[in-house]
Amino acid sequence: MESAIQTIVGVFLKSAKGKESLGGNDFQKLVKSQLHNIMMDTDSSEAVKKMRQGLDANQDGKVNFEEYMNLVGYLATSLSEQCTAAVETPAESAAAAPEIESTPAAAEVEEEKAEVEAQPEEAEPEAATAVEKEKVEEAE
Ligand SMILES: [Ca+2]
């Protein structure tokens, strides 16, 4: 994760070439070279321009670090939603729902087991004593 953060910051600094913000061409190059696998339409200059305008919160035509981080956050969120959907879709009906329903029941069973286990421990000495008494009676 540390290397990922370093990469995120490093890509911005490299693309900005010492400036505080990414200009239109800087942003185009960054998106095309770094984000073509995670985003659609990165080859379309018009789409990337619209994306830049969407990120440009302070309307200066450039993408500063904060605006760039909004893009990173957006991509991370959409990736996480894709992964969550991919994990839930096959398992949802079979595993996920019953697991939630069975959790309280399993806890109850464990409590019952604990009670059952606790009782014999208390009863054992009495039973042993009774057996010993029987043996003693038999011996007499
Ligand atoms: Ca801006």
pLDDT digit string (tens) for the chain, length 140 residues: 999 999 999 999 999 999 999 999 999 999 999 999 999 999 999 999 999 999 999 999 999 999 999 999 999 999 999 989 888 876 555 555 555 555 555 555 556 666 666 555 555 566 556 666 666 666 66
The rounded Å distance from CA 27 to ligand 1 centre is 11
The rounded Å distance from CA 61 to ligand 1 centre is 6
The rounded Å distance from CA 133 to ligand 1 centre is 92
HSE (CB half, 13 Å, CA atoms) of 83? 7
Instruction: Tell me which residue of 5, 7, 11, 13 sits closest to 31, measured CA to CA.
Output: 11
The rounded Å distance from CA 81 to ligand 1 centre is 27
pLDDT digits (tens, 9 = 90+) for 52-69: 999 999 999 999 999 999
Instruction: Tell me which residue of 61, 52, 66 sits closest to 12, measured CA to CA.
Output: 66
What pLDDT sits at residue 136? 63
Task: Domain of residue 58: give its range.
Answer: 2-139
The rounded Å distance from CA 78 to ligand 1 centre is 22
The rounded Å distance from CA 22 to ligand 1 centre is 8
Instruction: Please state whether the predicted TM-score (pTM) of the whole model is above 0.75.
Output: no
**CATH number of the CATH domain containing 22:** 1.10.238.10
Burial string for 31-66 (b: 16+ CB within 10 Å, else e) reads beebbeeebeebeeeeebeebbeebbeeeeebbbee
The rounded Å distance from CA 23 to ligand 1 centre is 9
The rounded Å distance from CA 63 to ligand 1 centre is 4
Helix or strand run (H / E) with residue 22: strand 21-22
Q: For the chain, what is the domain count?
A: 1
The rounded Å distance from CA 2 to ligand 1 centre is 26
